[in-house]
Structure formats: C-alpha cells, structure tokens
A = this chain, B = another copy of it.
C-alpha cells in the first residue's frame, strides 16, 4: 500500500538523518549465573541508620517536602516514620540534584506481600533519574525472575554478585556510591557511569560499568541529576534516605 510505504520511508529518513543520539547496547533479561543466597548479619539497629551530620536527608520521617510526584504533588503515604507507595500515583522525584554521591536508603516489603516475578514488590531507585537499582521481593531467590532483574541488579545490566536480601516485613538497606559519567563532544561516554552497591552491608555491585540509562537506548548527557523512586504498581516502603555529595 502506498501510504504504508511512504510512512516507512519517512521513518528511514528520520533514522538516518539523526545526528545527536549516541546509543547504547540493548538491555535484555537473562537467567544465569544465579546469585548465591547470603544471610547477612543483623546490620542495623532498630530504626535503621539516620543521616550523618554532613548528609542531606531526603526524608525526615514526617513529610515528602524533598520530593515532587511525576503527576503533581507526591501522594505516597507517610506513616510510622516511613512512606509507602500508593498505586498509580506515579513516581517520586527528588527536588535536589547531585553529581557524584553516596546514597543510603532503606526499603521494606509488606510481610503479606503477594504477586510473582516482576510484579512482586517491584520498585526501583533511579540514580540521576536514569540508572535503575532494582527493588523487588526476591528473598532467598524464591521469586523466580531473570537474574538481572532481581533486587540489587542494575536493571537488565548487571545481576547482583550475591543475594543478601531480608524477608518481607524486614528492612533492607542500600549503600550506593555513584560516579557520574563524563562525555565526549559528540555526546558519547568519555567515561561510563559507575556504581558500587552494598545491600545489607554485603557488596553486590563492585564499581560496575553502567552501559547506559535504563529506559532509553540513547546516551543521556547529564552530569548531575536527582533520585527517582518508581511506582510500579506494587507496595513497598522507604525510610532513612540520605545523600552525601562527593
């Protein structure tokens, strides 16, 4: 059909005349190697680990004043010194932006969690709003899903080295050290973003090379950015979120 051909033709032109979009490999899910389960010691006192004196706290236990919602004011539920996703109210974005940083953040799934695979407690922490450290209920590898989509993965890029998750109803903590990318003049990476992650005190990402943003196939030229907490339609709670810019 003529119309169809023309459309395809136009798309081709668009594709081949593009100039500014350095691209990244396609991210895919895979199923091995399966991270070993590790049982961490009880690493945090009750109440978790609040901010040290030089950190910026992104949650004071009582309001979401450091955040905006992707659909307007943030509507997640603040209660008991934590806040919890409210389905379909959208992602939260931190008002502040950072370059290189150390991030501490704690998260918990409800003890009576249901769902399977990527619909079991799915959320995520997007560094610079771009690079997702996965949040999912995958305690003890019981919830079968692709290994680079389980908790602690740099989503679809790097599985966690091991799986030191706590069970639903208990708090998990991430300590994340993020090195921002640098860029060449043509928009490609001069140096890729890098990330080191400890989950419950156990190293799960070791200065890993991030190939690119989680939700786009083009390189995004940003040297500073905020945090985004994902509403994936699942229940998960957060507390003790603080950032030390490096």
Q: Is B38's CB under 8 angstroms from A54's CB?
A: yes
**A177 contacts across to B, CB distance below 8 A:** 196, 203, 206
A33 touches B22 (CB 8 A): yes
Q: Residue A7 at the B interface, CB < 8 A? A: no
The 8 Å CB contact of A53, one of B38, B50, B191, is: B38
Check A39 for interface membership: any CB of B closer than 8 A: yes
A97 to chain B, nearest CB (A): 15
- Is A34 located at the chain interface by the 8 A CB criterion? yes
CB neighbours of A161 from chain B (8 A)? 184, 186, 246
The yes or no answer to A72 lying at the interface (CB within 8 A) is no
* Interface residue total, chain A, C-beta cutoff 8 A: 74
* Chain B residues whose C-beta falls within 8 Å of the C-beta of A18 in the assembled complex: 31-34
Binding site of A, secondary structure by majority: helix, strand, loop or mixed? Answer: loop
**In contact, A16 and B40 (Cβ under 8 angstroms):** no
Further contacts, 14 of them, CB under 8 A, given A44-B45, A52-B164, A159-B188? A16-B32, A16-B141, A16-B144, A20-B32, A25-B25, A25-B28, A41-B49, A41-B50, A161-B186, A177-B196, A182-B182, A185-B245, A202-B244, A207-B207
A18's closest neighbor in chain B, by CB?
Answer: B32
Interface residues of A in 60-114 (CB under 8 A from B): 100, 102, 104
Q: Which residues of B contact A159 (CB under 8 A)?
A: 188
Contacts of A187 in B (CB 8 A): 33
- Which chain B residues border A119 with CB–CB below 8 Å? none
Shortest Cβ gap from A160 to chain B (Å): 11
A206 to B192, CA, bound (A): 13
Which chain B residues lie closer than 8 Å to A157 at the CB level? 25
Task: Name the residue of chain B whose CB is nearest to the CB of A30.
Answer: B23
Min CB distance, A77 to chain B, in Å? 25
From B22, B49, B203, contact of A201 by CB (8 A):
B49
